[in-house]
Structure 1
Amino acid sequence: MENNTTNNFSNVSFNQWDVELYESKHSFVSNLAIDLLELLNPQIGEKILDLGCGTGHLTYKITTRGAKVIGIDNAPSMIEEAHRCYPDIKFVVGDGVKIELKETFDAVFSNAALHWIKEPKKVIHNIWRVLKPGGRFVTEFGGKGNIETIISGIYEALDAAGYSSNKQLNPWYFPTVGEYATLLESEGFLLTFARLLERPNKLEDGEYGLRNWIKMFASCFFEGIPEKKQNIIIDDIENRLRPNLYKKGKWIADYKRIRIMAFKEGKPNKYF
């Protein structure tokens, strides 16, 4: 087993993801969304946008239902890997805040992506714009309380190390169901399903699971911190979180997910 303690956590930016680490240690991101595809219920001949498609595994699964899918993600490394894995699917580099596609879609699907965008009103407006009348929006992403324990551990370790200002680098948006529902309804969506799901998730790679997770998803907190100091802080985070999140040789991330289904200009009868 490789020990990742010598890695510089600040080397990973959030528009150039470490694809190898993502695919090898964090496949649960797409694997946990299989039942979300059932909520989407893709139909033969539909045109669907996968917003925040990552490496395209869920995009591909949607196409197996007979739908035509375009995947969009703001990370060039993810799109490059998606092209490599699924050359027959259209993937484009793009941002949910400014979707530049001219097409309109029967549905917009998004898994584990929208909590990375702190301008939800712009995203929702763009989703509304690219949907056909009666089109549906199906999404799941981090909700209120998501990774709350992990964030607390990171904040406490940064404070102890003298880097309190780095807490301002928190990249996530975790709304309540009510907050997000209000934004959707303000845009004109008809909300038909909304739920906050408790989703404790075992991280891969045993003892190094949390360290790999931080490298993959939370490296921004270490911006400007020398590499040796980074690893000391990571050790501190592990020590603080171990009593609550390390069970039987596995780290457990305290995930909470919002799952949403909403329709533009009402819900079509064919789905219900």
Structure 2
Amino acid sequence: MDINFKKNMRYCDKKNNRIIIEGGSPTPEFWDEQSIIKELKKHIESARNERFVSNITAKFIKPDKTKKILEGGCGRGHFVYSLKYNGYDAYGVDFAKETIKKINLVMPDLKVNIGDVRHLDFPDNFFDGYWSLGVIEHFFEGYDEILSEMKRVIKKNGYLFLTFPHMSFLRKLKMKMGLYPPFNANVFDMNLFYHFALDPAKVKSDLEKLGFRMVYSRQLEGIKGLKDEISILNKPLQKIYNSQNFFVRALNYFGAKILAPFSAHAILQVFKRNQ
């Protein structure tokens, strides 16, 4: 049985213990196309009901209007809005200029600006917390500059909340079985690069070298990881993944948790800056 998910090709990079995943280059124009101004304000304000970012943040940083939290790579700004709504001094930066302009138009009080997570326009030791939700994996040249900037702008004893697609047990198994074609940099079309599935142990090690200590970790999206990696399950699981039915969403929620140790698409790592 072929269990490779064919929609977006994956390649094995054994040297760096990661997978290269196609899907279209994530340029500023790519992200700009995702924004539809007619629905933008509604989308942002719906984040007052989100619980993932707000609850995880509150576990480590008590809601306080003096606590500055940055989302680096904020997209359409809904998590910045959620953080503000839940009692923080929230900021967001993104390199998609047109998207940021639209957010500034419909939500002028939201502190979102055009910016590059590799070169942030903030002073040293400025933020109590920094959220990076699925950002570091999109840079083919690596994430070193991003991590260095994280250290620079986060206060001592501040927190970094980091999510990224990772090398799950299922992905490691497929790599070991030779089910991903080997990556060849000489023939790979960079216009097709979307993101990496990264080795969480390496990310942890790289941040520890910068003076961070991991204080929490959780594997995420077990159903997505399964449907993306096993083609025969993609269609039925996609229906569960997209459903708005209460009972199906409950199934998705608990199924994702149960499957996470085996097939989690992503991982959350929380770090405290010690130095």
TM-score normalised to structure 1 length: 0.63
| Deviation at residue 144 of structure 1 after TM alignment | 1.7
Q: Is residue 34 from structure 1 mapped to residue 51 from structure 2 by the alignment?
A: yes
Q: Which residue of 2 aligns with 1:121?
A: 144
Q: Could you tell me how far apart the structure 1 residues matched to 2:101 and 2:168 are?
A: 33
> Structure 1 residues 19, 198: closer, same or farther in 2, change over 3 A?
closer
Matched with 2:265 is 256
Counterpart of 2:115 (choices 74, 79, 94) is: 94
Deviates more, 1:137-146 or 1:102-111: 137-146
Between 106-115 and 179-188, the greater mean CA deviation after superposition:
106-115
Match of 1:78 in 2: 99
Change (3 A) 1:73 1:32: farther
Secondary structure, in 3 states, of the residue corresponding to 1:171?
strand
- Cα offset for 1:36? 3.2
Shift of 1:38: 1.1
Q: Which residue of 1 aligns with 2:84?
A: 63
Provide the C-alpha distance between the structure 1 equivalents of 2:79 and 2:137, rounded to a whole number of angstroms: 18
1:44-95 Cα shifts (integer Å, max 9, x gaps): 1201111111111110010012211110011113312322342101211112
Give the aligned CA root-mean-square deviation in angstroms: 4.1
**Aligned in 2, Cα 1:244/1:195: closer, same or farther, shift over 3 Å?**
same
Equivalent residue for 1:199? 222
Q: Offset at 1:99? A: 1.6
| Residues 217-267 of structure 1 deviation map (CA, whole Å, 9 limit, x = unaligned) | xxxxxxxxxxxxxxxxxxxxxxx976331117738697611101111117x
Equivalence map 1:168-207=2 (5 Å):
169-201=192-224
**d(CA) in 2 for partners of 1:90, 1:146:** 39
Match of 1:224 in 2: none
**Matched residue type, 1:108:** Y
Offset from partner CA, 1:8-49 (integer Å, 9 cap, x none)? xx998621221247979xx8xx89973232111152120111
* Alpha carbons 1:110, 1:139 under 8 Å: kept: yes
What one-letter code is carried by the residue in structure 2 that aligns with 1:15? P
Q: After TM superposition, which residue ranges in structure 1, 4 or more long, deviate above 6 angstroms?
A: 21-24, 30-33
Query: Could you tell me whether the CA contact under 8 Å between 1:83 and 1:91 is conserved in 2?
Result: yes
1:167 is displaced (CA, Å) by 6.8
Amino acid of the structure 2 residue aligned with 1:19: Q
Deviation at 1:126, TM superposition (A): 0.5
Name the counterpart of 2:257. Answer: none
Note if contact 1:146-1:256 (Cα within 8 Å) is conserved in structure 2. Answer: no
Number of corresponding residues: 210
Q: How does 1:156-235 map to 2 (within 5 A)?
A: 165-166=188-189, 169-201=192-224
The corresponding residue for 1:15 is 28
Contact map agreement 2:54 2:86 (CA 8 A) in 1 = no
Task: Give percent identity, aligned residues only.
Answer: 20
Greater displacement, 128-137 / 101-110: 101-110
SS at match of 2:144: helix
- Alpha-carbon distance between aligned partners in 2 of 1:185 and 1:21, rounded to the nearest angstrom: 40
1:171–1:58 CA distance, 2 compared to 1 (3 A): same
TM-score by length of 2: 0.62
Q: Work out the CA distance in 2 between the residues paired with 1:189 and 1:127.
A: 10
